[in-house]
């Protein structure tokens, strides 16, 4: 039977997803609490990934090898790298890079050792399906339903754009424009930066299961990100994540 593993990068996201679940039971393994149950009659295991590539990989492995999930979805926030990407926008990870992977001179910068890949990709079919479902929910204003106008104004969110884009993951929180410009100079096509997505994509790739990585922009990965990030997470992320999962399931 199909079982969807759903990982959230913040406890607030996981709380939102658990609100949608029925028949929930919990199991604790390796400092994580796995929530087993059903959303819209589909079997799901929901868990807080914890932060960074190692934590997320370990959580993804447990989902696959202990709970037998047949695919993994990951929802989280991210810092915008491309100027066209604004706070509140949604990025569906078409290409997932690891910006801190660098085993030169043995192999090229960004190449994942032993896999010969510079990035992981979603299948074309899946990415078009996910884009269509999220875009339809956004166009129907589903994402704004539970967020006050005041909060939307605080972040200058008047519309949400949905992008199929490139995500760079690495074990760094971007809190300066210098970090952002450095990343742009080595990976110019990147839409946003976060700390887990490509690690989860790698674990799924190595275990032959599909992955869906979706990020909402919480900050501009610049000198103000340490201020924007926590407020966005506190005020917006739970409701956005709920809308995301409802749109996809
Ligand atoms: N996730 C959300 N914002 C981020 C940032 N600025 N750097 C890394 N990961 C993030």
| Strand pairing report for 120-121 and 90-98 | antiparallel
Would you give the distance in Å from CA 125 to the centre of its chain? 19
CA of 79 to the centre of ligand 1 (A): 4
pLDDT of residue 1: 83
Residue in the block written with tokens 């674990």: 203
Q: What is the pLDDT of residues 71-105, one digit of tens each?
A: 999 999 999 999 999 999 999 999 999 999 999 99
From the CA of 175, give the closest atom in ligand 1: 6
CB 126 within 8 A of CB 4: no
Question: According to DSSP H, which parts of the chain are helical?
Answer: 11-19, 53-65, 124-139, 149-154, 177-186, 197-206, 225-232, 238-248
77 lines ligand 1 (CB under 6 A): yes
Cα 200–chain centre separation = 9
Please identify, by atom number, the ligand 1 atom nearest to the C-alpha of residue 221. 6
For the chain, list residues with pLDDT below 70. none
SS3 state of residue 228: helix
Tell whether ligand 1 has an atom less than 6 A from the beta carbon of residue 195. Answer: yes
Q: What is the dihedral of CA 102, 107, 111, 113, to 10 degrees?
A: -90
The pLDDT of residue 18: 96
Q: How far is CA 86 from CA 112, 168, 220, in A?
A: 30, 17, 7
CA triple 102-120-15, angle to 5 deg: 105
Q: Omega of the bond prior to 105 within 30 degrees of 0, cis?
A: yes
Interval between CA 173 and ligand 1 midpoint (Å): 5
* 174 close to ligand 1 (CB < 6 Angstrom): yes
The pLDDT of residue 206 is: 98
CB atoms within 10 A of CB 109: 13
| Residue 73 bridge partners (DSSP) | 6, 212
Q: In 10 A of CB 124, how many CB atoms?
A: 9
Domain range 76-248, CATH architecture: 3-Layer(aba) Sandwich (3.40)
Residue 145 has a pLDDT of 85
Whether residue 190 has its Cβ less than 6 Å from ligand 1: no
Q: Are 94 and 121 in contact (CB under 8 A)?
A: yes
Enter the tokens of residue 63: 């989902």
Domain limits, the chain: 76-248
pLDDT recorded at residue 146: 82
Global confidence as pTM: 0.96
């Amino acid at each position: 039977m199909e079982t969807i593993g759903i990982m959230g990068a913040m406890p607030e996201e996981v709380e939102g997803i658990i609100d949608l679940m029925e028949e929930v039971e919990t199991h604790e393994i390796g400092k994580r609490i796995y929530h087993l149950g059903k959303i819209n009659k589909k079997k799901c295991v929901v868990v807080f990934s914890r932060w960074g590539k190692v934590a997320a990989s370990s959580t993804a492995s447990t989902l696959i090898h202990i709970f037998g999930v047949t695919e993994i979805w990951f929802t989280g926030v991210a810092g915008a790298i491309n100027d066209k990407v604004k706070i509140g926008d949604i990025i569906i990870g078409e290409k997932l890079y690891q910006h801190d992977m660098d085993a030169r001179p043995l192999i090229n910068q960004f190449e994942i050792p032993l896999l010969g890949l510079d990035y992981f990709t979603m299948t074309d079919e899946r990415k078009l399906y996910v884009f269509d479902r999220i875009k339809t929910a956004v166009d129907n204003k589903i994402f704004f339903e539970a967020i006050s106008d005041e909060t939307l104004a605080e972040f200058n969110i008047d519309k949400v754009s949905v992008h199929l884009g490139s995500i760079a993951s690495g074990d760094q929180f971007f809190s300066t424009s210098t970090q952002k410009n450095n990343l742009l100079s080595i990976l110019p096509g990147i839409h946003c930066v976060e700390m887990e997505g490509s690690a989860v994509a790698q674990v799924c790739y190595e275990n032959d299961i599909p992955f869906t990585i979706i990020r909402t922009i919480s900050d501009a990965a610049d000198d103000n990100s340490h201020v924007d990030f926590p407020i966005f997470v506190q005020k917006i992320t739970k409701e956005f994540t709920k809308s995301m999962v409802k749109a996809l399931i």
